[in-house]
Amino acid sequence: MHPIKHFRHIAVAAHPQIPQAYEQAGRIAAFLEENGLRATFDFLDAGPLRARLEAEQVDLLIALGGDGTMLRAGRFCAPHHIPILGINMGKFGFLMELSLDEWPTTLQHILKGDYWLEKRMLLCAEHWRGDTCLGSWHVLNEIVISRGEIVRPVHLETRVDDRFLTTYVADGLIAATSTGSTAYALAAGGPILPPELRNILLVPVAPHLSIDRAIVLAEGSSVSVTVHTDHQAVISSDGQMPIHLQDGDRVTARASDYSVEFVRLQDPGYFYRNLTPHMYNNPAIKKLT
């Protein structure tokens, strides 16, 4: 747990593609104003809202959407140490704290300081070509280095703390945080890690005659992956649009200097208590049962 902050300036962010999210954001902002706070609302990607976050004019961001909304909000808020409260309007909501019908009562508790802050590690990933850094990202779930549209494996020379680990021959390699251990890494057969851990999880995707088990790196370790391929290869961070890689490109990942802070009201044991219900309430799973 981390020290309580008393919120005075609150932004409410709506997912632009979820019906009713903007209207609900307006209702929440009006509620906050009625309780003597300064509040604004907009779509999450809107320029004015982003500007307020970057200028650190916000004490708390309330995000309405699903887990993808929380991933984007985390990237926006972490560098400015702005906590995030998630209200679920999506399909899954593994990272969210509240359902939509809970906010009128729950916000009263939060405004009185009845909450705690959960810190979660971000990954800092960089794309290198020779001595030139072509891009860098701070991600909450994972980075994925993988093949492109051509259905052929790539060779991924992987080093941990500058020591050779192995060369994966696979469809891809996932480098995930503990938060990301319940996302793509879980679907690829990786373990579930407690959210407070600051370890990097490596999970190969469809490995061929390679290490086929996930590896949990020691806290503080870094990983470097050099791509060897004569066809397409890409990198994607937190499910964003892929960026093409060339033969010999290198992707590095380490714990970011930033952390995401989530506002929590449940006791710290919530993660294990909610794990099975979350997984079996997944609409995708229900369709198969």
Q: Please state the domain extents for the chain.
A: 9-115+265-286, 122-258
pLDDT at 280: 60
Q: Which residues of the chain have pLDDT under 70?
A: 1-5, 277-289
Please list, in sequence order, all residues whose beta carbon lies within 8 angstroms of the beta carbon of residue 16, skipping any fewer than 6 positions away.
22, 43, 44, 45
**CATH among 3.40.250.10, 2.60.200.30, 3.40.50.720, 3.60.10.10 for 122-258:** 2.60.200.30
Taking the chain, what is the end-to-end CA distance rounded to the nearest angstrom? Answer: 38
- Helical H runs in 40-182? 47-54, 67-77, 103-111
The CATH class for the domain spanning 9-115+265-286 reads alpha beta
pLDDT at 190: 96
User: Exactly one of 42, 59, 67, 238 is catalytic; which is it?
Assistant: 67
pLDDT at 284: 44
pLDDT at 283: 47
pLDDT at 128: 98
pLDDT at 277: 67
Nearest by Cα to 93 from 283, 289, 288: 283
Q: Is 67 a catalytic residue?
A: yes
Sheet holding 233-237, edge to edge: 215-216, 201-205, 172-176, 142-147, 233-237, 243-244
pLDDT at 6: 74
Residue-wise pLDDT for 20-35, tens only, equals: 999 999 999 999 999 9
Q: With contact defined as beta carbons under 8 Å apart, do 176 and 203 qualify? A: yes
- pTM, entire model: 0.89
Q: Rounded to the nearest 5°, which phi and psi values hold at 63? A: -110, 125
Alpha carbons 286 and 183: distance in angstroms, whole number: 17
Q: Are strands 132-139 and 250-264 parallel, antiparallel or unpaired?
A: unpaired
Sign of the torsion formed by the C-alpha atoms of 15, 21, 25 and 31: negative
pLDDT at 281: 58
